[in-house]
């Protein structure tokens, strides 16, 4: 399974429709190819905007998610970007 297939499976599992998707783009994260999906999440009492980033290292898929209510999204996504920039990825060997 490749990254696009994994993201499509995640969309189906979370019942994310094309109408809900605000942005979908390719990016690099920790030196890996990644996919970022920003979408409206209707599974709460108020409208939420979620950003999901998925990437693959060796044979493992990893995901990072930011979730914020629509009214706080702009500040939340800035904080999320800062957190991502400060993170390091260390894959443990089994």
pLDDT one-digit tens code per residue, 47-83: 899 999 999 988 799 999 999 998 888 899 999 999 9
Helix (H/G/I), strand (E/B), else coil: 84: helix
**pLDDT value, residue 91:** 78
- Quote the CA–CA distance of 69 and 41 in Å, as a whole number: 9
**pLDDT value, residue 58:** 83
């Amino acid at each position: 399974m490749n990254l696009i297939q994994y993201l499509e499976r995640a969309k189906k599992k979370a019942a994310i429709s094309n109408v809900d998707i605000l942005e979908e783009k390719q990016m690099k994260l920790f030196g890996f190819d990644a996919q970022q999906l920003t979408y409206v999440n209707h599974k709460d009492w108020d409208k939420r905007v979620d950003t999901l980033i998925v990437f693959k290292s060796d044979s493992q898929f990893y995901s990072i998610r930011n979730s914020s209510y629509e009214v706080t999204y702009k500040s939340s996504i800035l904080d999320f970007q800062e957190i991502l920039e400060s993170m390091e990825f260390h894959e443990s060997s089994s």
